[in-house]
A and B are shown apart, each in its own frame.
Chain A
Amino acid sequence: MKFTFVRALAALALGLALSACGGKATYDVSGTISGLTNDGMILTNNGGDDISIPAGATTFSFPHRASYGDNYDIEFKTLADGVTLAYPNHMTCVIGYNKGSAGHTININAQIVCSQATHNLGGTVIGMAGCPAVADTAPYCLTLVNGSTGGQISIAKPADGSNNTAFTFSSQVKDGDSYGVTVLGQPANMTCTVANGSGVMHTTDVGNVIVTCVPN
């Protein structure tokens, strides 16, 4: 807190000194980036002054500098659909220290951290009506697994007696990683088989894994 105050004071002093000379202090609108392994990121300052950031970049700087007292607001550009942000391909990023008034701190240094995007993996189990009731044998009807490190999910017979139930693994799958769903634990007296169980995760959730259980 004290340090911020001192820095603000120093910046103010600098600003005053320069304005006394007839000029006005300007500031580089810049920042640092970590984890950027793909192209596609576009940044804006106050909704304009777009800059495209290539894969591997660790710093960025907007073409226009900010004058002392100008507000800056560095964001990911919103694409034409009005919703999607211009993250790097297959990645998501977070940004901090990205808004303020130029001169409040000695320099403008936004921080961006990017990581591979992840998406949900799930689908539907058909034939749940044939499962043993939760209160009977085991609490779960069947257990699905996504390889050795993709997590597992145990599915109980629906309380409302419906025959189909949707599932989603709690572990998300990284964009570009493969997945493969198999039945690790079969229900008593039934056999479940998996369709659409294997593929590569792309840019949207996968929800089309179909597990069909039939009595033995």
Chain B
Amino acid sequence: MKSLTLRAGLALLCASTLAACGGGSGSLVLQATINSLTKDGLILTSGPDSVTVAANTTVVQFPTLVGSEDTYDIEIKQQPTHATCTLVNNKQKANVYTVVQPVVNCVTDSYILGGNVSGLTGIGLVIANGNDQVSVAPASPSGASVFFKFPTKVADGAPFGVTILAQPQGQTCVASNNTGTMPSGDALGLIVTCH
């Protein structure tokens, strides 16, 4: 009986000693999965670590190991340029399962794609950027330049390619300056000329 009490007491002592030591000498690698990061500049922190994450990275491992049952806390110190990231499962008690659960989801900023149609007198013009479409009606007075923009914004760095999906009645339109890579701002230089 006495021996049992002694052993229990010893175990308790051991446990509390280990818990006290829990801070620095961990054994678990903490990592975060990065989704859709297309831009540089992201800096993540965890405890003493500060890690710069380059564009197109998919996994980040933090250099300092964490101890089992320690609470880890991953935060964003700096957002990427022209993108915004959010954290999921970034603050949890560490164990072999939870140290691989943090996720960073990034969304690249997107901007307006548009331009001007000149010489348009007929109805029915439809301009496409792949599966995104915009219908353009003649201006008043007929033939004056008409501004158009696509309903869906385009992500910074994504390609665009604009074509005439449907010609207006009695006219033929041609798109020029119509393909390229989206800048970090609106691209409103598309030119559609109708005759």
**How far does the alpha carbon of A150 sit from the alpha carbon of B161 in the complex, in Å?**
10
Q: How large is the interface on A (under 10, 10 to 19, 20 to 34, 35 or more residues)?
A: 20 to 34
Residues of the B chain whose Cβ atoms lie less than 8 Å from the Cβ of A199? 165
A183 touches B159 (CB 8 A): no
A177 within 8 A of partner (CB): yes
Task: Digitize A129-167: 1 where CB-to-B-CB distance is under 8 Å, 0 elsewhere.
Answer: 000000000000000011111101000000000000000
B128 touches A180 (CB 8 A): yes
A74 within 8 A of partner (CB): no
- Taking chain B's interface residues, is the majority helix, strand, or loop, or is none over half, making it mixed? strand
B154 within 8 A of partner (CB): yes
Residues of the B chain whose Cβ atoms lie less than 8 Å from the Cβ of A200? 165
In this complex, what residue of B is CB-closest to A149? B130
Stretch at the interface among B10-18, B85-93, B95-103, B174-182: B174-182
A173 touches B131 (CB 8 A): yes
Q: Which of B131-175 contact A (CB under 8 A)?
A: 131-133, 152, 154-155, 158-165
**How far does the alpha carbon of A200 sit from the alpha carbon of B132 in the complex, in Å?**
11
A101 within 8 A of partner (CB): no
Residues of the A chain whose Cβ atoms lie less than 8 Å from the Cβ of B132? 147-149, 178
B129 within 8 A of partner (CB): yes
B165 touches A182 (CB 8 A): no
A179 touches B180 (CB 8 A): no
In this complex, what residue of A is CB-closest to B155? A148
Give which listed residue, A147, A178, A179, contacts B160 with CB less than 8 A.
Answer: A147
Q: How far is the CB of B180 from chain A (nearest CB, A)?
A: 7
| Given A148-B182, A149-B132, 11 more pairs with CB closer than 8 A | A145-B161, A147-B130, A147-B161, A149-B131, A149-B158, A178-B133, A180-B162, A182-B161, A182-B178, A184-B159, A184-B179
Q: Which residues of A contact B (CB under 8 A)?
A: 145-150, 152, 173-174, 177-184, 194, 197-200
| 24 A/B residue pairs, CB under 8 Å, sorted by A | A145-B159, A145-B161, A146-B130, A147-B129, A147-B131, A147-B132, A147-B162, A148-B158, A148-B161, A149-B158, A150-B131, A177-B131, A178-B126, A178-B130, A180-B165, A181-B161, A182-B161, A182-B162, A182-B179, A184-B159, A184-B161, A197-B163, A198-B164, A199-B165
